[in-house]
Amino acid sequence: MLHVWQANWGFRIAECPCDLHLTDYITERAITDKTIYHFGTGDHHHVGISQAENGSRNSVLGITASTGEHESYVQLVIQRPEIVRWYNAVFGDIYMVNRQLLPDLDIVTLFHICEFRTEQNDSYGALTDREMLDLLTDKLRPGGLMMFFPGSYAWKMAEPIVNAWAEQPNIAFVEKYKSLIIYKKLANGR
């Protein structure tokens, strides 16, 4: 049986400011016309809604393993169909992501890496956190950004995976921005 997240995550900025800090970063850097893959939509759908409303022409593909969060997305776009042009949220397990179904990406948010992976995912052949990270890196365009949230409750597990991944010659640290750590995929390891 699919590993499903049983809760809906509200917009609790004090506990988890990463989505707000992502949208602050996009606004401050005047990022436009990008494709964003967002792991963990939250019941608030802040990232997708903000990009649909701000005129940036950034397209957001979100993924959630919470049936409640996905249902709130369905209700959102029924009430506000203009949102669906710029924001789509799919229900599924990120560890079952299929590279053939993903577009080329400009920004990937893995704020919740290692939070959701358990032996239940093993029962149906899901990717590991590192395999998922590598697959999404492959889909990231040169110059694209990979973002992490060290405030995650699972960061102690995620940090060694991210640090090993960051040693690749085609990955460069960009900056720490508020609660986020940001890396860039380089072209040809430069």
- Each residue's pLDDT expressed in tens, for the chain with a length of 190 residues: 766 766 665 556 777 899 999 999 999 999 999 999 999 999 999 999 999 999 999 999 999 999 999 999 999 999 999 999 999 999 999 999 999 999 999 999 999 999 989 888 899 999 999 999 999 999 999 999 999 999 999 999 999 999 999 999 999 999 999 999 999 999 875 4
User: What gap in Å lies between CA 18 and CA 13, rounded to an integer?
Assistant: 8
β-pairing, 180-185 vs 105-109, is: unpaired
| Partners of 5 in the β-ladder | 66
For residue 117, the SS3 value is: coil
* 63 touches 112 (CB < 8 A): no
Q: Which pLDDT does position 5 carry in this prediction? A: 64
> What pLDDT score does 116 carry?
87
* Pairwise CA distance, residues 45 & 22, whole Å: 13
3-state secondary structure of 59: strand
- Burial track 87-117 (b if 16+ CB lie within 10 A, e otherwise): bebebebbbbbeeeebeebbbbbbbbbbbbb
Query: How confident is the model at residue 8, as a pLDDT?
Result: 62
Q: What's this model's pTM, rounded to 2 decimal places?
A: 0.94
Domain spans of the chain?
39-123+136-149+160-189
**Residue 108, CB-side half-sphere exposure with 13 Å CA sphere:** 24
H-helix or E-strand spanning residue 145: strand 140-148
Query: Domain 39-123+136-149+160-189 adopts which CATH fold?
Result: Rossmann fold (3.40.50)
**Whether 154 contacts 114, CB under 8 Å:** yes
Residue 189 pLDDT: 55
